[in-house]
Amino acid sequence: MRTSCVEINLENFEKNIKTARGKLGDKKILAVVKADAYGHGAVAISTRASAKGIDFLGVGIVEEGIELKNAGIQTPILILSQELEERVEEIVRYNLYPTICSRNFLDALDREGKRQNKIIALFILLDTGMGRYGLVPDEFIYFLKLIKKMSWVRIEGVMSHFPIAGVDFQFTREQIENFKKLIQSAESMGITIPIKSLANSAAFLTDKDSIFDMVRLGLILYGISPLPDKGQNEYLPVMTVKSKISFIKTIPPGHSVSYTRSFIAKRPTTIAVVPIGYADGYDRKLSNKGWMLVKGEKAPVIGDVTMDATVIDITDIQDVKIGDEVIIMNTSVTAWEISDAIDTIPYEVISRMGKRLPRVYI
């Protein structure tokens, strides 16, 4: 197996589910497993989530849902955004739950349901402020009336999404109130909505009023809070990225390191090569900014991160040998720290850890 790897602690994942469940009581949980479960391995994570009683799994595209179905996953799978009409045959054939927010896609589902002789349970996505997918509020009643007249589709749920939960409380509050009003308008028409879902991880941590029938939890189940100052101590990190030193040498003052000569040694410098690079998801913007842990001590990244390798400075760390373990990300080099260094978000850091890195499940 390759020296560099991503270690996934499934026991911590289970504990995070238990912690969230303890706060939610009988509310449903959808575990977001899109983007290969944020880099954790969708099949392994979904299998464990299903075994722990997760109510729904959320994927981003049809292929992700099919992968889970082919792996034998029985838990209901919701496609979190609307797909193209050309995908309806697969959506219906694999019994995936589609999300709808357009007339053409709704009509295509109804026709395909008739063709396959299946009634399709769907989720309506409302745009209460995200400004991406979703029906604007004025369209909602029109779609409810359409669905009432159709024979091959039924409403399983209605959901919306927060763009800035846990940060802009006023805007989030407005979204919650608008969502409530839209649900009430549906109920006044005699339409039953089995599952109402608004809260994501950030809202779950900060606003109980955002919790309806089901919460959609992603980052927090992987042990990373979407808010750096909220909930981090309650949830256990699931992913550790590690490697081993493959080469060591000492360079003299004035010697450069890596492409572009962005690092010039000012003293005799002992460098170590770590076989992980930007092709593995270790961002090139960490050049001369990042650090790794060697023997529990910080070793700064020096020079440009390359496709397959990164150089670190181990001058001040004693007794380092080829083959020594290097921690690239864990509780001491966190996804938040890495994301802050390159001006991004933890979601990107963990989901970009590539397929070249073997997943080791413990």
Task: Say how far apart CA 258 and CA 269 lie, in whole Å.
Answer: 14
Report the half-sphere exposure of 8 (CA within 13 A, side-chain side).
Answer: 23
The tokens for 315 are: 């001058």
The tokens for 27 are: 């509310």
DSSP type of residue 70? H
The number of beta carbons lying within 10 Å of the beta carbon of residue 250 is 12
**Letter for the amino acid at 318?**
Q
Closest CA to 226 of 164, 160, 171: 164
User: 86-100 b/e with 16+ CB inside 10 Å = b?
Assistant: ebbebbbeeebbbbb
357, 276 in Cβ contact below 8 A?
yes
**Letter for the amino acid at 219?**
L
18, 49 in Cβ contact below 8 A?
no
126, 159 in Cβ contact below 8 A?
yes
DSSP string, 209-231: GG-SSEEEE-GGGGT--SSTTSS
Residues classed as catalytic = 34, 259
**Residue 136 exposed, middle or buried by CB count within 10 Å (0-12, 13-18, 19+):** exposed
Task: Say which residues have a Cβ less than 8 Å from residue 266's Cβ, sequence separation at least 6.
Answer: 253
Report the half-sphere exposure of 45 (CA within 13 A, side-chain side).
Answer: 33
Task: Say how far apart CA 95 and CA 82 lie, in whole Å.
Answer: 15
